[in-house]
Structure 1
Amino acid sequence: MTSPFRLLLLAPLAALALLLAPAASQAQTCRVTSISNFGTTTVDIVPNASASATGQISYNCSSRTPFTDVRLCTYIRVASSSQIGPNDYAFYQTRDTDSRLAWEMREQFNRRYARDGGGSVSTGGIKLYVVGGGTTTNINGTNTLTLTYLDRQQQDRVRPGTYTDTYQLITKYLFNSGNASCEAGLANPTSTITTSFTVTSIVPKNCQFENFQDIDFGSWGSVAAAQASSAGVRQFGNVGIRCTYQTPYSITIGDGQNVSGGTRRMRKGTDYLAYALFQPGCNIAWTTASPLAGTGTIVSAINNHQVCGQLATPLAVAPAAGTYTDLVVVTATF
């Protein structure tokens, strides 16, 4: 009559052994308790306006036996090769296959987060330790994360629009880490945590003028200027423009301050010199009615457009000596 009782006692003991096995493997563990949403960041890349977003990641580390500290070292993992930035510390957000926006992340001590498997050692991370050199079985810590978009000289195909991508924070941790550092690489970590986060930004369509160069016809004798051929007094200026990638634009040049009968004129007191402005090649007039069309290139580069200036020569009367000037307004529409 005793055998059935022995069988009944063995069953719960076996179940108890099965329950204890996974608990033993979790003797020392860390987990992410929360990670902030970085929100939506406006990145006006053309004027090189600085743009960043700040968040936080919080950890809880616990052990069934007392410990003195935990070192947590974090990398960023991307889902595809298109998210790999221009270096091991930079990452791309993508709007489409031909649009990307580079950023990097730093933590509260201004150390950068590297790409997981990118060949660089991550310096992003924190050390949780017991104040006063004691021990504990449970500890919490928070790390501030700052996501910064790279300046325009480190960008390329940035189209206007909304960029949204998801990435992973890979956190390796080591209990009782002693002098182990993230910079040296965390050898034989206790375990690894994987946490996803999403980054969203909006790039507005934009263009701005840069690299203007005035037209200076130089010094001419009155008679020489009057007798010059129709292409004999010609000089060049420049209109530079930087735009978001592949943004169409048109540039017009106004008639100036002294226009008469549709002819631009430079002025000195009551005397005038007629001139004309042409698009690159000196064949097509450049006016408000005849714009120059273009398309934005990569945002790290400027589109330069030569302005061809030409005096209306030969002249019937030699001009009076002096300095002749005019001011024209250049307008970009995009």
Structure 2
Amino acid sequence: MIHSRSLAVLALALVGLYWAPPSAEAATTCTTSTTPLAFGTVTGAANADSNGSVTITCNTFGLSLAAGVRVRMCLYIGDGVNGPGHFNPRRMTNTFGDPLQFQIYRDAARSQTWGNGSFPAPLQVDLQYSVPLLGGSGSITANLFGRVFAQPGLAAGSYSNPFMDGHTWLEYRYAESIFGTPNWPGSCSSGGTGGGSTTFPFTASATVPNNCVISAATNLDFGTVPGLINANRDQTSAISFTCTGRTAWNVALNNGQNASGSTRRMRLGASGSYVNYELYRDPGRSQRWGTTAGADTVPGTGTGSVQTLTVYGRVPATQAVPAGNYGDVITVTVSY
């Protein structure tokens, strides 16, 4: 009887060892690193594209046997610190608060806006990796596809929109398995073994340079004078140009091809006959238009739209010259 009881105790001990539970499954944590969405120099004349990226790295430790992990992640992006409060489109601003419209997409074709709700939707990515005895990790990179739209009337400056912690977040659920590969979690917020969240801040930036382009300069035609020029002949012409907003400019007119000192002259063909004339900045024709900034040029500031200046011309009396067609060529310079 004593021997029988001894066998019973031994049997219970063996059963206890056989049913000892395996070590607990480990927690999985995910972290992020980002690159900026930098567009560089843009002019607004055409679309400008750039890419950024978010790299997610997940780590799992403590699984007792060879195992697998599956992580389902959703990346949410809001409208940013300088955003307009909506996604259509997003906006960067410069130090003056001038807007620059852009967008962030989930796809390379730039057709799916990246958002933080049902519309526009976040980006979902799935990550699977194995976990050996001492632990394991996996990583995946998601690209941000950015576009600055073609848009007129831009102001010069450095533009940015920071997407800080409150404007980006990553939500994830993971499923762990001691043996083999587990099923995917049902979503980024439910199912699986556990989950967590983190952020992935980045900054979108672009620079609009100072720039001016002359679009037109009309001829200054003094008409026909019968015989002696015995009265002033006044006419006007126009110079049209476009400068980016907030660009300081100066418009200068040189003395032409036939000047004598500072006296502008039109010439009769290749002859030695000339008609004196002058160009002015004001309707009263008292302010000569020249090339010295701050003295006799016309200053201004760009608006991003076409700006037009009037050139006030005069052929003064009295001049007696041979009949014929007189002409000169003036060079217009816009400095900025």
What TM-score range do you get, normalising by the shorter chain? Answer: 0.5 to 0.7
Partner of 2:33: 35
Instruction: Name the amino acid aligned to 1:295.
Output: T
Contact 1:75 1:113 in 2 (8 A): no
Partner of 2:162: 165
Q: TM-score, normalised by structure 1?
A: 0.62
Consecutive unaligned residues of structure 1, counting only runs of 5 or more, are 1-19, 131-137, 181-185
Compare the two structures and name the one with the higher helix fraction: 1
**Further displaced range: 37-46 or 248-257:** 37-46
SS of 2:274 mapped into structure 1: strand
Consecutive unaligned residues of structure 2, counting only runs of 5 or more, are 1-23, 129-136, 175-182
Percent identity between the two aligned chains: 16
Q: Which of the numbers 209, 212, 230 marks the counterpart of 2:213?
A: 209
Q: Tell me, in whole angstroms, the C-alpha distance in 1 between the residues paired with 2:260 and 2:312.
A: 17
Partner of 1:279: 281
**Further displaced range: 284-293 or 274-283:** 274-283
Change in 2 beyond 3 A, CA 1:246/1:69: same
CA offsets 1:122-156 (integer angstroms, 9 cap, x no match): 3x6355499xxxxxxx9864322233333342x64
Partner of 2:105: 106
Change in 2 beyond 3 A, CA 1:69/1:40: closer
The CA deviation at 1:331 is 3.6
The CA deviation at 1:242 is 0.6
CA offsets 1:27-55 (integer angstroms, 9 cap, x no match): xx994x43332276532437769463433
Q: Tell me, in whole angstroms, the C-alpha distance in 1 between the residues paired with 2:260 and 2:151.
A: 43
Contact 2:103 2:113 in 1 (8 A): yes
Partner of 2:77: 76
Q: Tell me, in whole angstroms, the C-alpha distance in 1 between the residues paired with 2:142 and 2:299.
A: 49
Question: Does residue 1:251 correspond to 2:257, yes or no?
Answer: no
Contact 1:248 1:296 in 2 (8 A): yes
Q: Tell me, in whole angstroms, the C-alpha distance in 2 between the residues paired with 1:286 and 1:292.
A: 8
For residues 117-196 of structure 1, what are the structure 2 equivalents within 5 Å?
A: 120-122=119-121, 125-126=123-124, 128=126, 141-153=140-152, 156=154, 158-161=155-158, 163=160, 165-167=162-164, 168-170=167-169, 193-196=197-200
The CA deviation at 1:287 is 0.9
Question: Cα RMSD (Å) of the superposition?
Answer: 4.6
Partner of 1:241: 242
The CA deviation at 1:204 is 6.4
Q: Tell me, in whole angstroms, the C-alpha distance in 1 between the residues paired with 2:249 and 2:314.
A: 28
Q: Tell me, in whole angstroms, the C-alpha distance in 2 between the residues paired with 1:74 and 1:67.
A: 19
Contact 1:57 1:145 in 2 (8 A): no
Contact 1:50 1:149 in 2 (8 A): yes
Contact 1:278 1:285 in 2 (8 A): yes
Q: Which has the larger radius of gyration?
A: 2
CA offsets 1:32-79 (integer angstroms, 9 cap, x no match): x433322765324377694634334447599x9999995x66442145
Partner of 1:321: 324
CA offsets 1:249-308 (integer angstroms, 9 cap, x no match): 3222211221114122233322433332223646432211301111233xxx23513232
Q: TM-score, normalised by structure 2?
A: 0.62
Partner of 2:313: 310
| Aligned pairs, number | 282
Contact 1:128 1:139 in 2 (8 A): no
Contact 1:61 1:139 in 2 (8 A): yes
Change in 2 beyond 3 A, CA 1:39/1:311: same
Q: Tell me, in whole angstroms, the C-alpha distance in 2 between the residues paired with 1:140 and 1:97.
A: 40
